Structure 1
């Protein structure tokens, strides 16, 4: 039963939280209500009595418990009474349905976390905590900063929302363009955490990927912008490969080794349509370029047919649009396919001069692969060990151990 509740938590908790924030008007109160709702579910549900609509049950339970907490406080006053009455007037029957209002709750949450009155670094931390449900430790690892710093940023963001009375709403369409960049970045982060979990026992968190795609669709309806289309295209094309990225044992399967018959052709068709739309715009942005790179991979019938020269050219454009060492690392992999591992290794060695990239496990994993291809086994082993020490995702750890074991076998031969 605990596994069932854990599964429901992963698939429903963020949307339940988003709705509770709207209903209760306070992040901390909503988080407490979310915890209480799942505690009640653990006590009351059995395999035979799980509600047909767990989301509705959890929202209702969380709301009830929030009201009870307000009414039971020792120093109960008239203001708190008004709050409780407004949350659930006497005799009201609460109906939770899949209405448009509820469907917008996650988008409201994203826009609230990304409000311009909240500092940019706090926006990201707040979004990953509230929208993705990551712990402060996981966020700290993602940003390569101390966990207490992340916690402080989240607390300050919540205080700013409270003190500035930042509205929990999707802004008017006239305000959307100026708020768009940060919101797109948050949706991108949500998708990335779903596409390749930063830690844990699985490669993919399908609930987060699906939520990011849903938010992308909803945002495109509100604002038919080329970059929104580009982000949606990228997410669809990347997600199309989800079922081929791990084998039946849950082990990582590299792109070159994936069974392409498992790729979702409907996702690919839709993603290519949005990608063409984004690339046809007067100004081509970073998300459109990332979608174009993903499109090159899905167009290839086999790994050998991949147009790596075009992918390198697209990465060159992407680095102009969005200079980033992580993008440069991805470009290095494409360069290795065109010009060989020595050229790619030179790029990675340059990236390792940066502190952030020295603490990123994929930098060392890429270097190890290039060294292995060049026959420099001892150096490759050292880089694999470093990558393994920095990696927090179990399937990636297993893959790195496999590479190390292969090196040992090769050394003995």
Structure 2
């Protein structure tokens, strides 16, 4: 019976990666959760507790996905692409700098899904518009969707899941993770400039350049996104769950998009990706069967209980390895269970660094990376396994070391 949850987690992850015939992940995750309960690996009460604990996170996820869709419908990402093209001055290196800034901010504020789905096509279009290679910019969007997602509790689903375990307010979490976030982005940028050096030195002065239509900045959508972010920061002081702030922001921006006929209810529901959200809701039940068994016990024995520098590195490394073995979402659930309810805040934050930065090493490290592959391929900029792996080997160990060192300094 102890092997069943492990097998089921593997089956669910393989299905999520392959997605035969485009079927949603819940098709396998739902029956797997039921099987874990029927087998006795997780009790009905434990399953109910897992679902109840995940419900606010899933509500938040739905709201952020709708917020990002409405922002795109109102021209935010079209405007971002225009700013990238104008700011680059036909210099691939300047363009990469602007892309890093746009990807880091988009990931932090609108979550990594917005970076992967909405910003990736925008940066590829921007690169092609100045006759530059789209590769450095596309890979930057992929990497920063993971590594720039440590700043805010709302930046990544893993952060949302672990936020309550940190015992921190929104602002305190952000203050502690700001330096690791900055250090990570700087390291990534330096390595990207070296790794793609030949492509960034390419001459883009030859050949026709498509005319850029200058559109005004979408002031109202940007203002609402800013107000929503301010609401996240203030929510801890007034006792409101950040999820309700996200719901309010998504409702207002969607209403504006509907009124301007930039979207419709069908597209909003599709953007919410309710099947994926249901998958997230029940995945915790399947992973709980592993966390409560020998694997969870073994991980718990490995993890330290103090917040010394070496201990932070160990937790981040274990989390990064787990992410590349079972994907970062199940790894987060497993690590939180292994750390226990009384884990020091520093260890939880180190774990988040591991599950957020570690996935840049392999294609299967995060669902965002797998989604990025599909998005990039759909716009004729398909990535290669060799490039992704070599870039991951060059960046992941150094960003982990740099981010954990920064966290230790802050703590």
Same fold (TM over 0.5): no
TM-score by length of 1: 0.26
**Between structures 1 and 2, the one with greater helix share:** 2
* TM superposition score normalised by structure 2: 0.26
Tell me: higher relative CO, structure 1 or 2? Use CA pairs within 8 A at least 6 residues apart: 2
